[in-house]
Amino acid sequence: MNLNKYLDVSPEVAEAVKAGKPVVALESTIISHGMPYPQNVETALKVEEIIRQNGAVPATIAIIGGRLKAGLSHEEIEYLGKEGVKVNKASRRDLAVLVARGADGATTVTTTMIIAHMAGIRIFATGGIGGVHRGAEITMDISADLEELAHTPVMVVCAGAKSILDLGLTLEYLETHGVPVIGYGTEELPAFYTRSSGFGVDYRIDAPDELAKAFHVQQELGLGGGMLVTNPIPQEYSMDPAVINKAIDDAVEAAKAQGIHGKETTPFLLARIKDITGGDSLDSNIQLVFNNARLAAKTAVELSKL
Is the separation of the CB atoms in 207 and 248 below 8 Å? no
Helix ranges restricted to H, the chain: 11-18, 29-32, 39-53, 74-83, 95-101, 109-119, 136-139, 144-151, 167-176, 208-220, 241-257, 265-276, 280-303
Cα–Cα distance, 274 to 283 (Å, whole number) = 9
Q: If you ran DSSP here, which 8-state letter would residue 261 be given?
A: -
Helix then strand count (H, E) for the chain reads: 13, 11
Q: 27, 78, 148, 302: which is the annotated catalytic residue?
A: 27
Residue 188 a catalytic site member = no
Q: 76, 89, 148, 162: which is the annotated catalytic residue?
A: 162
Is the separation of the CB atoms in 239 and 201 below 8 Å? no
Cα–Cα distance, 236 to 167 (Å, whole number) = 23
Cα–Cα distance, 61 to 77 (Å, whole number) = 10
Cα–Cα distance, 51 to 35 (Å, whole number) = 20
Bond into 58 cis (ω within 30): no
Residue 162 a catalytic site member = yes
Cα–Cα distance, 18 to 46 (Å, whole number) = 25
| Residues that are catalytic | 27, 162
